Amino acid sequence: MSAANARVPFHGLFIDGKEVPATSDERLDVLNPATGEVLARISHASDADVDRAVRSAGAAFEAKEWASMSNRTRAKLINKLADVFEAHLEEMFTLETANNGRSVNETRAQISRLPDFFRYNAGLAIARRDAVIPVDGNYLNYTIRTPVGVVGNSTPFNHPLMIMVKSLAPTLASGCTTVVKPSEYTPLTTLRLAQLFVDAGLPPGVFNVVTGLGPTTGKALASHRGIAKWVLTGGTEAGRITGALAGGNFAHQTQELGGKTPVLVFDDFDVDQAVNYAAFGAFIGAGQTCICGSRQIVHESIYDEFVAKLAEKAKTIRIGNPVDPSVQLGPVVSRRQQNRVLEYVRIGLEEDKARLVAGGRVPADPSLADGFFVEPTVFADVTPRMRIFQEEVFGPFVSVSRFATEEEAIAMANDSPFGLAGAIRTSNVTRAHRVAARLKCGIVWVNDHHRLDPASPWGGVKDSGIGRECGTESFDQHFETKSVMVRLDEAPFDWYQDTANQRRLN
Ligand SMILES: NC(=O)c1ccc[n+]([C@@H]2O[C@H](COP(=O)([O-])OP(=O)(O)OC[C@H]3O[C@@H](n4cnc5c(N)ncnc54)[C@H](O)[C@@H]3O)[C@@H](O)[C@H]2O)c1
Ligand SMILES: O=S(=O)(O)c1ccc(CO)cc1
């Protein structure tokens, strides 16, 4: 970090193991969303800067130091990085909370689990085996899997470190190298982790960070021919644009995009518990979570009680500066995001018969006026054709809808362009499995929400993206498979004389 201004830290780019200046002097403000203050300034990387970072990652990928490191040695290094990360958790909680506004308790709970993502993938690096394939004829066929190369990784503002780590851990463990483009709103913990890892022994160029805006820096990275795998976590639009750019170079892709998670609440489930889960599902991270339970679909026999209790619960959530441990809901990330949520409140109020039963405003507390706060908001009587049922709001905003039959609940849940996650509240085990199988999405929670594990596949279908993070599937997506076919037959070979051989081919 350079001290361009005595009060506001300035960050250059992180390329080849060190902080370097960008080609242009253009700087972007990074704000504290709870106060509106400028927390830091970052560089705006140009095409030339991105090219430099990708070349550095490409050279590091080929360098003996990294390319010929054995899986076991790499796994040891990754475990060491996990330990170093763990030793700096306090610093990371503080920086992340200041930068994205998530309450410090939630940030602590989330980030504390991240070192294990490295440990899990270090284990996969050791356990990884190539295959021997039973093919027809007297042949030995085996595979050699080699890491794909440079991974371009573009991350969103909502859980900057967690989402970056979900991809970074398998990238490093597989032997790939990377250029990360964090959200322009929340780049600070990513820059800090890159420096920590190099200090801990990660070879220069293996983990580079370029900061800047999506349509410039992000576009340059997605379209760079040196990128062998493109990972974007963000909105569906950014996924579509960058997917086409990376696809033009035939790069592998994983896209983790938007969502509108349906939560099916059946009448055999305790209403108070369903309300507690609804608040947890919808309001943590100020609702800025791709898998937030933004559509509560509730059986008609418990509907009125559920709506009344959820509205009450929403009104009791303590809003304030997220650094205060007693605060339960911080701001959304930016003034833009705050205005977007308020715009959806306006849309909801205009939609036929939707009923605002809690929130919908900026909190009255004058001490919060400079931050980007929105009250936890609940709309009832929402039906599938309404925009607030169909569109991702990305704020503390939940809709409640009514159903009569299980069939109707499933149809409502699947009536969405998104397919990231779904949740079911029931004490009927048979129903839980039956409904889980029919939800069109990549993740289902039964009587839970948000749970993420480094070993459990994570990702969506439809407009929620393609590919999976976490688990063995994500690790395996970092390799090219080479098939080696060895003829074991010792008899001399002459294609033009040996008719039996020719017959075998046909
Ligand atoms: N599926 C998941 O696991 C998951 C997790 C978290 C967030 N999300 C989604 O992320 C979105 C919120 O995050 P956001 O507002 O930061 O998303 P965003 O799409 O605006 O930005 C994500 C990243 O892409 C870059 N970007 C944006 N437009 C681009 C363009 N035209 N070309 C190249 N790069 C571009 C941004 O700079 C940022 O780094 C929500 O839709 C949310 O559902 C998905
Ligand atoms: O760790 S949690 O805060 O529960 C969490 C938040 C978001 C996501 C996915 O974006 C997963 C887990």
Q: What phi and psi, each to the nearest 5 degrees, are found at residue 248? A: -60, -25
HSE-up (13 A, CA, CB side) for residue 369:
4
Confidence at residue 6, expressed as pLDDT on a 0 to 100 scale: 55
- pLDDT more than 90, % of the chain: 95
Determine the pLDDT at residue 3: 44
Rounded Cα gap, residues 272 and 435, in angstroms: 22
Would you tell me how many other CB atoms lie within 10 Å of the CB of residue 346? Answer: 10
The phi-psi region of residue 143 (left if phi > 0; otherwise alpha if psi is between -120 and 50; otherwise beta) is beta
Q: How far apart are CA 264 and CA 274, in angstroms?
A: 10
pLDDT in tens, 216-240: 999 999 999 999 999 999 999 999 9
Distance CA 121, CA 166 (A): 10
Mean predicted confidence (pLDDT) in 260-274: 98
Task: Say if CB 333 and CB 185 are below 8 A apart.
Answer: yes
d(CA 429, CA 179) in angstroms, rounded, equals 45
Query: What region does 212 belong to: left with phi over 0, alpha with psi -120 to 50, or beta?
Result: left
Task: Determine the 3-state secondary structure of 492 from DSSP.
Answer: coil
What's the CA gap between 288 and 432, in Å, rounded? 27
Concerning whether 290 is annotated as a catalytic residue, the answer is: yes
- Specify the ligand 2 atom closest to the Cα of 458: 9
For the chain, what is the total number of helices (H) and then of strands (E)? 18, 23
Per-residue pLDDT at 31 exceeds 50: yes
Q: Which two tokens stand for residue 174?
A: 């597989």
33 and 372 in contact (C-beta within 8 Å)? yes
* Smallest CA separation from ligand 1 atom 3, residue: 256
**Cα separation, 393 vs 106, whole angstroms:** 21
479-505 confidence digits (pLDDT tens): 999 999 999 999 988 888 877 666 566
CA 107/CA 300 separation, integer angstroms: 36
In this structure, what DSSP letter does residue 2 have? B
pLDDT tens-place string over residues 424-482: 999 999 999 999 999 999 999 999 999 999 999 999 999 999 999 999 999 999 999 99
Task: Name the burial class of residue 65, with classes exposed (0-12), middle (13-18) and buried (19+) by CB atoms within 10 angstroms of its CB.
Answer: exposed
Is the minimum distance from the CB of 401 to ligand 1 under 6 angstroms?
no
Question: Is 350 an annotated catalytic residue?
Answer: no
Residue 254 pLDDT greater than 60, yes or no: yes
Mean pLDDT score, 118-135: 96
How many CB atoms within 10 Å of residue 34? Answer: 23
**pLDDT tens digits, 385-402:** 999 999 999 999 999 999
ipTM value, please give it.
0.94
**What percent of the chain lies above the pLDDT cut of 70?**
97
Q: Cβ < 6 Å from ligand 2: which residues?
A: 110, 159, 284-285, 289-291, 450, 452
Is residue 190's pLDDT more than 50?
yes
Mean pLDDT (whole number) for 285-311? 98
Asked if pLDDT for residue 2 goes beyond 60, the answer is no
DSSP state of 395: S
pLDDT at position 232: 98
pLDDT at 4: 45
pTM: 0.96
CA-CA distance, 164 to 180, in Å (whole number)?
8
Instruction: Report d(CA 260, CA 462) in Å as an integer.
Output: 12
167, 232, 240, 464, best to mutate for ligand 1 pocket (most atoms within 8 Å of CB) = 232
Instruction: Tell me 318's DSSP state.
Output: P
Distance separating alpha carbons of residues 270 and 336, to the nearest angstrom: 38
Judged by DSSP in three states, 443 sits in strand
What is the arithmetic mean of pLDDT over 313-339? Answer: 98
Q: What local confidence, expressed as pLDDT, does residue 505 receive?
A: 62
**In the prediction, which pLDDT does 128 show?**
86
Of 12-16, 129-133, 166-170, the poorest mean pLDDT is in: 129-133
Taking residues 33-39, report their average pLDDT: 98
Ligand 1 neighbour 233 (Cβ under 6 A)? yes
- Rounded CA separation 86/189 (Å): 14
Ligand 2 center to residue 195 CA distance, Å? 25
End-to-end CA separation in angstroms for the chain: 66
| 96 contacts: CB under 8 Å, gap ≥ 6 | 102, 107, 111, 160, 161, 186, 188, 189
User: Is a pLDDT exceeding 90 seen at residue 306?
Assistant: yes
> Which uninterrupted H or E stretch holds 79?
helix 71-87
Q: Is the pLDDT of residue 89 over 50?
A: yes
- Residue 265 token pair: 């609440």
Nearest CA to ligand 2 atom 1: 110
Distance 197 CA to ligand 2 centre (A): 23
Q: Which DSSP category does 214 fall into?
A: I
- Best of 161, 291, 294, 453 to mutate for ligand 2, by most ligand atoms within 8 A of CB? 291
The alpha carbon of residue 152 and the mean position of all alpha carbons in its chain are separated, in whole angstroms, by 14
- Please report, to the nearest 10 degrees, the dihedral formed by the alpha carbons of residues 444, 446, 452, 458 taken in order: -10
Q: What is the mean pLDDT of residues 81-92?
A: 98
The mean pLDDT value of the chain amounts to: 96
- Residue 149 banded pLDDT, cuts 50, 70, 90: very high
